[in-house]
Amino acid sequence: IYMAMEYINGISIGKEFRHRKYKPYTVEEMADIILPLLDALETIHANSIVHSDISPGNIIRTDKGDIVLIDMGAAKYALDSQPALSASFLKPEYAAPEQYQTAREGIPKGEGAWTDVYAVGAMMYYLLTGQKPVDVIQRLNSKNTDIAVMEKDNMELPEQWLGLIQEA
């Protein structure tokens, strides 16, 4: 089984970030990435599809400057109780808790639009701080569910952004 997808000419946000030497994006630069991403997610979520693999590597800035969400290889229909094909790709820094259950059991349970929103929040943290968030399993095991400790390495983020990231 294979999936053919359109080739998008551009650079992934992950690669772009590496080229910046992980210099954090400003709030405005991050919003220029996240807002089109949220528009794309709104469309697929309205069709009961969960992307399940939101990360900087799966967002492309085209040569024209447009932001495009790519790689639907892990996408699932949110309403299917047992899909014909269920891929489980975990990127620990961006994976929501329910994705670990899917990976363990092989059947999506409890995944929905909120799964992608979780990954968007983790990605926002990464883009604004230059630090990947601690993966959710480590946080749950330590009983500290905060996405990250902001005092670490003198990272500062306006309170409203930290609140938004925590909410996601």
How many whole angstroms separate alpha carbon 57 and alpha carbon 14? 5
Told to judge if 53 belongs to the known catalytic residues of this protein, a careful annotator would answer yes
Dihedral through CA 168, CA 53, CA 38, CA 155, nearest 10? 50
Distance of CA 90 to the CA centre of its chain: 11
DSSP characters for 110-121? S-SHHHHHHHHH
Name the catalytic one among 39, 53, 63, 66: 53
* Catalytic site positions: 53
